[in-house]
Amino acid sequence: MTLAMFASFIVHVLLGLPLFIALLVTAVVGFMFIDPSMLGRIVPQQFFGGINVFSLMAIPLFILAGNLMNSAGLTQQLMTLARVLVGHLRGGLGYVNVVSSVFFAGVNGSAVADTSALGSLLVPAMKKEGYSPSYAAGLTAGSSLIGPIIPPSIFMILYASLTNTSVGDLFLAGVVPGLLLGLVFMVMNWLYARKAQLPVSGQRPTMGLFLQALWGAMPALLAPFIIVGGIVFGVVTPTESGALTVAYVAVIGLCNKQLSWQRLWSALVETARLTSAVFLIMAASAVVSWLLSYAQVPKAFITLFDPIIEQPILVLLLLSLITFVTGMFMEEVSALMLLTPIFMPVAMAAGVDPVHLGIIITLNITIALITPPMGACVFVAAAVSRLEITELFKTIWPFVAIALLVLILLILFPGLVLWLPGLFGGQA
């Protein structure tokens, strides 16, 4: 049954069907093996039930907050601050790219949005300063991986809804890995800047210029504290936090007169488009997940790990390998929805903390965004840099390797993930 479902899914994806339809057809194939009479009852029930979760309302709200931030000009203020902080260094625009991704991650939580928003501005500027087009595009796509790791994160919200894990703990756990990812990309840029003999971009900024940039970016910098702080200290739920952030960004945009009614409407339309795509995939994935659970696939999967179940690090490495390969060929939301219910029992049997597992799966799924042949961020980066996608696919692998290095460090040293949640004593 499982092989037939997998073959059905691959065939329909290759035929070009929308992903949620391919998933539903895959479910139909599975029901033909189990009990066709269940089809009419279970599919509508699970399709609706998969998205009938209150905490998932946070997803469109965080997407809307990011869109409003772009429309209100706050993203530009973050980039200005990043340029003041690191733009004067050798290879400064590369550092600006990474630091801007760190700032932008604190509001949007989407790697694709990060690549699109920052890449369209920074890639042309980097090319003018002597960066190779493939490196500029690769760094933009690579640093965008920070977006879903530093809170808020759409992937973490999905994982939390599937495993009943604290969203606040997951958000806290993502801070150190996200900063670590930014650090290794900055080291990579440091090496590239010296090898390519890039010029020093400008003079060291004065304190007055720094304070001016900091003041301009302060409204945007406060947004992550509203999001994470409110959840961690129990003031608001994740959904309420998303609504509060939307209201906050909208008020800022109206006050600085950057957010017109036309831009507000455009942000709402774009949010509806992205949300509907995500939720359709989630709903269809929920049907397939229920079917796999009914067929006891997770239980059978656990037995495969019996020889190494006492070695949690080895278990995580194998689960990561499976996720990495799956993510290369499957859309990220559906991969997360399908793999998490199967992986969770294995990880629990091996004694892996569910928060640790959540960060490992999230980073794995995120790396898939820059991995050929399905990496969405690579396609966006190629478009904004006007590169052939095949050329960028050939040069993206060092950035994939850097991200995988961080992933391995997080597996080997769980304290990097669990330190902040432990510091707050489970308040999240």
CA distance 363 to 177: 9
At 201 the pLDDT is 64
CA distance 288 to 2: 11
Task: Enumerate the domain spans of the chain.
Answer: 35-424
Query: What is 387-405 written as a DSSP string?
Result: --HHHHHHH-HHHHHHHHH
Answer yes or no: are the C-beta atoms of 61 and 242 closer than 8 Å. Answer: yes
Q: CA 82, 86, 88, 89 torsion: positive or negative?
A: negative
Res. 68: pLDDT tops 90: no
Confidence of residue 427 (pLDDT cuts 50, 70, 90): very low
In percent, the amount of the chain with pLDDT more than 70 equals: 98
The model carries a pTM of 0.87
* 3-class state of residue 168 by DSSP: helix
At 137-188, the pLDDT tens digits run: 999 999 989 988 998 888 898 899 889 999 889 999 999 999 999 999 999 9
Ordered alpha helix ranges (H), 233-311: 238-255, 261-294, 297-304
Q: Considering the chain, what is the average pLDDT of its residues?
A: 86
- 209-224 as b/e: b if 16+ CB within 10 A: eeeebeebbebbbebb
Token pair of 403 as six digits: 């991200």
At 202 the pLDDT is 65
* 3-class state of residue 90 by DSSP: strand
Res. 415: pLDDT tops 60: yes
- 108-122 as b/e: b if 16+ CB within 10 A: bbbbbbbbbbbbebb
Res. 254: pLDDT tops 60: yes
Answer yes or no: are the C-beta atoms of 381 and 137 closer than 8 Å. Answer: yes
CA distance 312 to 274: 36
For residue 90, the cross-strand partners are 200
CA distance 53 to 41: 20
* 3-class state of residue 71 by DSSP: helix
**Dihedral, 138, 154, 226, 243 alpha carbons, nearest 10:** 130
CA distance 118 to 158: 25
